[in-house]
C-alpha cells in the first residue's frame, strides 16, 4: 500500500481537567508507526492547564466554553475529523506504538470497526450477546469508520454513562460488524473517574437498556430481566459506596418474592449500623 492510498486516521482525545496525564496520551498517538494520523484534542471546559499542554504538540485543539460531557466532546471531534477512520483515545489512556498500524491491517470491507476483545473467549460480537453483557471494546481500543459514526448519530449525549456501550448496541443492531483484536492500549483511570460513582453508572446503564429496548422493539419481559441483572450487579457496589437511597429503591423494585434480593435487605439498616458491621468484620 502506497502512502497516497493509505487512509487518514483521526485520533479524537476528549479531555476534561486532564493536565496531569494528557501529555502521555498525545505522545503515544504521535509515536504511532502508522504515518497518516491527525490528532484532535477536545478540551471540554477544563479549569486546569489542559489546553496549554495540548498546544505544545502538533494537534488540532478545540475548546468547549463549558463542560458538556465526554459524549459531546467525542462528537465534536468526530465532526471535525478529516479521516476515513476515527480512533478514540481517552486522555488518561495510552496506545502501543503499533496499535493503529496493526488494527488497520485487519480492516476489511465487511468490517466497520476494529477493537480489542474484553474477554479472550469472545470471537465475534452480536447484538444479542452484547445486550446481555457489555462485551464492546473500550473506546481507546477502537477504530471505526467515520461515515458509520455519522450515520448512527454518534454518541448519545443524554446518557449519564455507558455511552460507548450504547453506541456498540446501536452499531450491531444496524447490522455492522466489528473485527476483534488483542489489546493495544493501556488504561489508567484518574481517582475521580465516573467509574467510581456507581450511582451514575447504574442509572446510565438502566436508561441505556430502556433506550435500546425501544429502538429494537424488545419485550417488557426482556427489559425486566436485563435490568434485574443490572440491579444484582450494582447492589453490592451501591451498598459499599453507601448509595443507600438508590440501593433501597432497587431492592423494593425487585420485591421480597425475588430471593436474590434477600441478602441486600441490610441496606435498610441505619448507616451507623452498617459502618459498625463493616468495622467489626475488619477486626476479625
Last residue of a domain, one of 161, 187, 213: 187
- Residue 2 included in any domain: no
Q: Which percentage of the chain shows pLDDT scores above 70?
A: 93
- 218 and 257 in a single domain? The answer is yes
* Per-residue pLDDT, 232: 97
Last residue of a domain, one of 166, 187, 208: 187
**193, pLDDT greater than 60:** no
- 178 and 88 in a single domain? The answer is yes
Range of the domain at 23: 7-187
* Inter-residue contact 45 to 16 (CB < 8 Å): yes
Look up the CATH number of the domain holding residue 67.
3.90.550.10
- 34 and 157 in a single domain? The answer is yes
* Per-residue pLDDT, 194: 46
Among 176-180, 231-235, 278-282, which stretch is predicted with the lowest mean pLDDT? 278-282
* Per-residue pLDDT, 273: 82
pTM of the model: 0.91
- Residue 277 included in any domain: no
User: In the numeric block, which cell numbers belong to residue 242?
Assistant: 453507601
- Half-sphere CA count of 94, side-chain side, radius 13 A: 13
Total tally of structural domains belonging to the chain:
2
- 46 and 179 in a single domain? The answer is yes
- 246 and 114 in a single domain? The answer is no
User: In the numeric block, which cell numbers belong to residue 225?
Assistant: 430481566
- Residue 85 included in any domain: yes
Which residues is 114 bridged to in the sheet? 143, 179
> Mind listing the pLDDT tens digit for each residue in 205-221?
999 999 999 999 999 99
- Residue 246 included in any domain: yes
- Residue 276 included in any domain: no
- 18 and 147 in a single domain? The answer is yes
DSSP 29-82: HHT-SSS-EEEEEEEES-SSSHHHHHTTSS-EEEEESS---HHHHHHHHHHH--
Amino acid at each position: 500500500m502506497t502512502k497516497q492510498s493509505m487512509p487518514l486516521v483521526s485520533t479524537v482525545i476528549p479531555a476534561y481537567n486532564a493536565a496531569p496525564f494528557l501529555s502521555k496520551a498525545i505522545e503515544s498517538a504521535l509515536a504511532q508507526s502508522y504515518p497518516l494520523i491527525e490528532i484532535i484534542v477536545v478540551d471540554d471546559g477544563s479549569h486546569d492547564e489542559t489546553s496549554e499542554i495540548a498546544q505544545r504538540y502538533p494537534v488540532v485543539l478545540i475548546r468547549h466554553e463549558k463542560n458538556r460531557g465526554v459524549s459531546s466532546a467525542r462528537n465534536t471531534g468526530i465532526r471535525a475529523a478529516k479521516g476515513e477512520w476515527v480512533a478514540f483515545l481517552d486522555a488518561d489512556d495510552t496506545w502501543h506504538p503499533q496499535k493503529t498500524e496493526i488494527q488497520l491491517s485487519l480492516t476489511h470491507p465487511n468490517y466497520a470497526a476494529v477493537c480489542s476483545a474484553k474477554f479472550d473467549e469472545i470471537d465475534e460480537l452480536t447484538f444479542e450477546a452484547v445486550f446481555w453483557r457489555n462485551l464492546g471494546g473500550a473506546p481507546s481500543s477502537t477504530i471505526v469508520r467515520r461515515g458509520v459514526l455519522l450515520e448512527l448519530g454518534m454518541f448519545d449525549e443524554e446518557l449519564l454513562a455507558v455511552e460507548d456501550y450504547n453506541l456498540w448496541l446501536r452499531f450491531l443492531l444496524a447490522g455492522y460488524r466489528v473485527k476483534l483484536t488483542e489489546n493495544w492500549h493501556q488504561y489508567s483511570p484518574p481517582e475521580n473517574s465516573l467509574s467510581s460513582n456507581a450511582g451514575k453508572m447504574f442509572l446510565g446503564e438502566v436508561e441505556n437498556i430502556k433506550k435500546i429496548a425501544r429502538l429494537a422493539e424488545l419485550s417488557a419481559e426482556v427489559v425486566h430481566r436485563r435490568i434485574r441483572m443490572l440491579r444484582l450487579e450494582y447492589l453490592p457496589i451501591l451498598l459499599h459506596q453507601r448509595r443507600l437511597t438508590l440501593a433501597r429503591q432497587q431492592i423494593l423494585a425487585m420485591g421480597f418474592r425475588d430471593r436474590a434480593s434477600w441478602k441486600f435487605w441490610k441496606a435498610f439498616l441505619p448507616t451507623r449500623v452498617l459502618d459498625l458491621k463493616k468495622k467489626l468484620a475488619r477486626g476479625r
